[in-house]
Structure 1
């Protein structure tokens, strides 16, 4: 099978995903979540999906929001570190659950740390980020130094 950049072949679908991405980002803001938390969620989802393009982009975005090298180094094993707040840990656990869709789900994030609005915002952010990962991976977006 040849490599097909699906965003170029169906630009209207790509634009709709951009619009959904904007709505998810607005939901994150309205829910009172830190933009840095959103970048951590995007990074973790991209790690789970193996999307180098999105990992590079969102790691750079996290750094521009003030993220540290130490926290970025351990986000893949966030549950074993003490670097993350309770809210960040809940959001990362929720994002992993939505990405992996385990059955039955352990729901370790569901401890009351996130409000219903924040749960909804992180869930939408995760749905959108999973979509972006699949666009970038299936289209073989280039990732080079």
Structure 2
């Protein structure tokens, strides 16, 4: 095959390997409009508040069980559960960074910073820098 071979993909209209890329933006724009029309990008504050409440209750329960077990190998099971719960708190911080939890940018920043830094133990500013660079160059290994 030569460099002039025909390429077909959902993101590129038929063209050559060296030809200009067309169709990707218009395909994405129409898909984005369909997603918006379906209401899939609306904030779901009730979901986030109920998730936060459930995580707080589950985390408190884990710490109670952890203390009741004393020095036992069964504490490792509780540690695994806490790892899952802290990961869920990190997801909440991520959603706040994407401005999905509150209407206010200020409150989303505060929630993301507080959850990421003080609950999960992850530097929020480090993560925002890394994540912003990722969004600037997505789908690249």
Taking structure 1 as the reference length, the TM-score comes to 0.29
- Give the strand-richer structure, 1 or 2: 2
- Give the helix-richer structure, 1 or 2: 1
Bigger Cα Rg: 2
